[in-house]
Copies of this chain bind each other. A is one copy, B any other.
Amino acid sequence: MEDITYYVGLVHYPVFDKNRKIVTTSITNMDVHDISRTCCAYGVRNYFVINQLESQRELFFKIMAFWQSDTGKNYQPDRAEALKTTVFLDSYQDAINYIKNQEKIYPVMITTTARQRKNQLRYDSFNSVINNDTLRNNPEAPAKPVLLIFGTGYGLADEIHEKADYVLTPIESRSEYNHLSVRSAVAIVLDRLIPKNKGGINGHIASCKSRTN
Q: Is the interface of A mostly helix, strand, loop or mixed?
A: loop
Considering the complex, give the chain B residue whose CB is closest to the CB of A195: B174
**Residue interface mask A174-199, B partner, CB < 8 A = 1:** 11111111011111100110111111
**Residue interface mask A153-185, B partner, CB < 8 A = 1:** 010000000000000000111111111110111
Known contacts A115-B213, A188-B188; A175/B40 CB under 8 A:
yes
Q: Does A105 contact B (CB under 8 A)?
A: no
Known contacts A181-B34, A184-B34; A174/B42 CB under 8 A:
yes
Q: How many copies does the complex hold?
A: 2
**Contact assessment for A176 and B38 in the assembled complex, using a CB-CB cutoff below 8 Å:** no
Name A192-213 residues within 8 Å CB distance of B: 192, 194-201, 205-206, 208-210, 212-213
Known contacts A200-B175, A212-B154; A41/B180 CB under 8 A:
yes
**Contact assessment for A38 and B205 in the assembled complex, using a CB-CB cutoff below 8 Å:** no
Selected contact of A180 from candidates B37, B175, B194, B198, CB within 8 Å: B37
Kindly list chain B residues whose C-beta atoms are within 8 Å of the C-beta of A34. 181, 183-184
**Residue in A34, A114, A179, A180 with the greatest tally of chain B CB atoms within 10 Å:** A179
Selected contact of A213 from candidates B114, B194, B196, CB within 8 Å: B114
Q: Does A30 contact B (CB under 8 A)?
A: yes
**Contact assessment for A43 and B187 in the assembled complex, using a CB-CB cutoff below 8 Å:** no
Q: Does A50 contact B (CB under 8 A)?
A: no
Q: How many residues of A contact B (CB 8 A)?
A: 50
Q: How far is the CB of A192 from chain B (nearest CB, A)?
A: 7
* A–B complex contacts, Cβ < 8 Å, 19 sampled: A18-B212, A34-B181, A34-B184, A41-B171, A41-B175, A41-B177, A42-B174, A78-B177, A115-B213, A154-B212, A174-B197, A174-B200, A174-B201, A175-B205, A175-B209, A177-B208, A179-B210, A187-B187, A191-B192
Besides the contacts A154-B212, A175-B199, what 8 more A-B pairs have beta carbons closer than 8 Å?
A37-B180, A37-B184, A38-B181, A40-B175, A42-B173, A81-B179, A174-B200, A184-B186
